[in-house]
Amino acid sequence: MKKVILFFIQFIIFSTIYSQENKYNEYESLKLDYKILKIETIENCYLISVKDSADNKYTIISLLTNIENGTKIEMNKTFSFQLYILKNSPRDVYGNYIIGGIYDFDLIIDGVNIKFKGGIDTGILVTTPNLKGLYYINEK
């Protein structure tokens, strides 16, 4: 009987987490306006901190490139991006977002290994087809 109850509890927890992930993916595939807060360069990519009109924070990862095609993004300017989630903010075993601390992120984008440390200001890690390096591309 204990095994059956434990199974149902795990099922409910995983169902809840899965539905939250789906909700974010549907929302982030919309093209919305985001304000550029900060631009950092690490070994092989740019980390571009942005926020939407509801003050939700995201970090766009854009690979380094020599191509200078489009409009160069600037801090405190607003651009319309279609975001795709790479990794959500860290959560505890109950599915709640962990506030505070430093986290190691390890991702692979287009075969490029990206490692960096992030904290509470990192927000949700995303990518977009609207950026090549630091140049905005207005795809429809």
State pLDDT tens for residues 4-55: 555 555 545 444 343 334 344 444 467 899 999 999 998 889 999 999 999 9
Rounded to whole angstroms, the Cα distance separating 128 from 59 reads 11
pLDDT of residue 140: 58
Rounded to whole angstroms, the Cα distance separating 7 from 104 reads 31
pLDDT of residue 107: 74
Q: Tokens for 6, please give them.
A: 């434990």
Question: 37: domain range?
Answer: 2-136
Rounded to whole angstroms, the Cα distance separating 104 from 116 reads 6
Q: pLDDT higher for 5 or 122?
A: 122
How confident is residue 135, by pLDDT bands cut at 50, 70 and 90?
A: very high
CB 124 within 8 A of CB 58: yes
pLDDT of residue 76: 96
Q: Tokens for 55, please give them.
A: 């003050």
State pLDDT tens for residues 88-111: 555 555 555 555 556 677 777 788
Q: pLDDT higher for 126 or 88?
A: 126
Rounded to whole angstroms, the Cα distance separating 50 from 103 reads 19
How far from chain centre, in Å, is Cα 127? 7
Count of other CB atoms within 10 angstroms of residue 56: 14
- The tally of domains found in the chain comes to 1
pLDDT of residue 74: 95
